[in-house]
Amino acid sequence: MTYPEILAHIFQSYPMYHRIGSAAYKEGLENIELLAAMAGNPEKKFKAIHIAGTNGKGSVAHLLSSYFQELGCKTGLFTSPHLVDFRERIRINGKEIAEQTVVDFFEKYQTQMFEISPSFFEMTTILAFDTFAAENVDIAIIETGLGGRLDATNILSPILSVITNISLDHTKMLGNTLSEIAFEKAGIIKENTSVVIGEYHPETFPVFEQMAKSKNAPLFLAEEYTGDMHFGGDYQRKNLGTFMKCVEVIEARSQKPEVRSQKLEDRRQETGEALIAAIQNLSPNTGFIGRWQIVSEKPLTICDVAHNPAGIEYVMAQLQKLPHDKLHIIIGFANDKEIDEIIPFLPKDAIYYVTQAHVERALSVEELFQKLSSAKLNLFKTPNILKAYLQATQSAQENDVIFIGGSFFVVGEFLQLRN
């Protein structure tokens, strides 16, 4: 089978949360343990940093990947979901894995996987682990899918666990309170393994403290970054603080992987140099996209994958700080989002182009329009993202700002349209 044929089969045959929602969620580690045994337990063959959290885990994962690349380490990166191409999820030194890698893996294991009947994410996880082991990476940065405790990635024994933050999202699967969600995320804390907590919250931090104590895991709390060096929106300062605390803990506990390129290491002797280079070279090092991504200058056009109340709050606040005459917002959401909790963060004076992505999990234009109408916003119905973008660009003047967001689906489809 060719790569396009296998990809079509994967999307059709394996339940995919990104597309159909909670119906694709398989609770428990039984499947991933069977898949790991099938592939010779690749998760035991490389060092890893394991990252969970409601928001920011993708940004922190990319920052850490960039940092280790600057040190000369052969670095694996596993994130989800993808925006444009499936292979974005699995990278080595910032490069997407080869199409042939996907083909070879599937052809080798398709019979056994059919018998195990994994979810899309479970299948993708073992593909990533198998690839990182085969490529003999020095370090792999692994982002969880939804939770932590029962997430497919949680068969790892990492050198560091990271929990970026906790807010209300995926409540049907993870719990209805911050402390319940924190308990699920805290499931990635391992015996005698350091854990970095990205943000303090009085409801969640005691959960992490208790779990860390029970596991004899040294616990470290990050501080928000206040320096001049930054990337993306102001909200990334929290992620920068988490990233820097991770580096500090790794360096202090002598857990840094061996560096293959000693010559490069000589140029990066000071941690500070590598930190700065990691931030400056984040996008070329890792292929980082979709987070406060500027896609056009006139009018200024930005896309961001923020999709829950906490993420939308940060992004909308940042948008309103930008100098502009009019703000045009192309917006669509997944059908499991609490729109009523998001509405208070939406600027009242913006022009909204209500749309939806072409996935089953998208909230329909009609339903979103109805929900947003109660807030008396300036709304236009646009049946798809292309028409929304064309309408916004035709209406916007040079000094206006256009924003595209509300979900990974919307941003991913928009970026595909631009390719």
Residue-by-residue DSSP string for 24-57: G---SSHHHHHHHHHTT-GGGSS-EEEEE-SSSH
What is the model's pLDDT at position 146?
A: 80
Token pair in block for residue 40: 């010779």
For residue 270, what pLDDT is reported? 56
Q: Which residues fall within 8 angstroms of residue 270, CB to CB, at 6 or more apart?
A: none
Longest CA pairwise span in the chain (Å): 61
Give the residue extent of every domain in the chain. 3-286, 293-418
Q: What is the pLDDT of residue 25?
A: 52
Pick the closest to residue 380 from 329, 315, 338 (CA basis): 329
Tell me, what's the pLDDT at 312?
93
pLDDT by residue, tens only, the chain of 419 residues? 899 999 888 888 776 544 545 454 556 799 999 999 999 999 999 999 999 998 899 999 999 999 999 999 999 999 998 999 999 999 999 999 999 999 999 999 999 998 998 988 999 999 999 999 999 999 999 999 988 899 999 999 999 999 999 876 554 556 678 898 899 999 999 999 999 999 999 999 999 999 999 999 999 999 988 877 777 777 788 999 999 999 999 988 755 565 554 444 454 455 678 899 999 999 999 999 999 999 999 999 999 999 888 889 989 999 999 999 999 999 999 888 889 999 999 999 999 999 999 988 899 999 999 999 989 999 999 999 999 999 999 999 999 999 999 999 999 999 998 87
Cβ–Cβ < 8 Å for 89, 82: yes
Q: Identify the architecture of domain 3-286 in CATH.
A: 3-Layer(aba) Sandwich (3.40)
pTM: 0.89
CATH class of 293-418: alpha beta
